[in-house]
Structure 1
């Protein structure tokens, strides 16, 4: 993205030179035309690039949220207590909603830029194929491509997170029942109240661990006169 915007600004001088060449075929006074054209190009592109910079920042915001989601996914692999997992999932779901809303907003802005580019082509000096038009089109398409790439990364991460969460629910189900659940069962648990199930499985696992520890303690105690049942 930085390369995209940088190239647009670096080509700004070349853009003006090409615009001046377009005037050579006309009968206007070249000195007056040069001043007028330069001012027009400056104003036309300055406003457009300002809008493009705002879209670029919002795309950067999505990138930051994706970073948080990746970090949360790694963190979830180290958490075991249901309360901590629940809090993490709440934050994760909030970030997912944020990404979707922001992506829709950016898509709408890009559509507005497309319409503005189309309207700009109807102005004298900015017809289709002119340097200004090519720059506006290139920047807009570049922003759209970057958004598409980020959303593909987002969908991939989201699918991976869901797959890993299903795996966690499946392991906890086996801990409680001793059976491996079918996909339909896992989906039902997640859609109903996966958090409650994880809390129950955690209590079951904790209780089993405590019973095992007590049993080992009793077996190692020579003065223990009762039998573990």
Structure 2
């Protein structure tokens, strides 16, 4: 994890803690890559999967620190392939462009935590102790940012990474986001004032930032994993 959509990591964690409280423990964490194929199976069977967040060693990219455009995501495809509006307390943003042009999709981890979200230090996280779940079970690649893993060994005490934040995957686990809306300067400014809101005011602010949801009925998505 690192800076994203014009917000520093500390601000993102504070905002996600407010989201977690407003959602009864549920929060969504935006990620850039699509889910592993097995993720939907795990979600449908409610298999316990721990979500581990570790601070990146490299500095955040300038496109994440100061994106030219920022969007908020308003709908997602659930584990059954159904097109749904994001929960009223969930607020996921991202930069509005990718290498291929305008972003039309993004992804998110749906998480639950009964404990407040705080960046912690000290617990090692060793990528070498894991393999990718599904497929050939390849080792964790240096360029992998978000991955579904299975443990094959104990963490080394001198691991390069730490468990800085953790939760459990919940509901549809790892989903594709759709229906982005660009944020104007006023709504971008609102993002920096949300962390201390009470739950009822948080949900009102989220609705305002989203700009209102379009009238789309829940539909079965075609050709999707999640």
Q: Normalised by the shorter chain, which TM-score bucket? A: under 0.3
Scaled by the length of structure 2, the TM-score of the pair is 0.18
Structure number having the greater strand percentage = 2
Does 1 or 2 have the higher relative contact order (CA < 8 Å, sep 6+)? Answer: 2
Structure number having the greater helix percentage = 1
State the structure with more CA Rg: 1
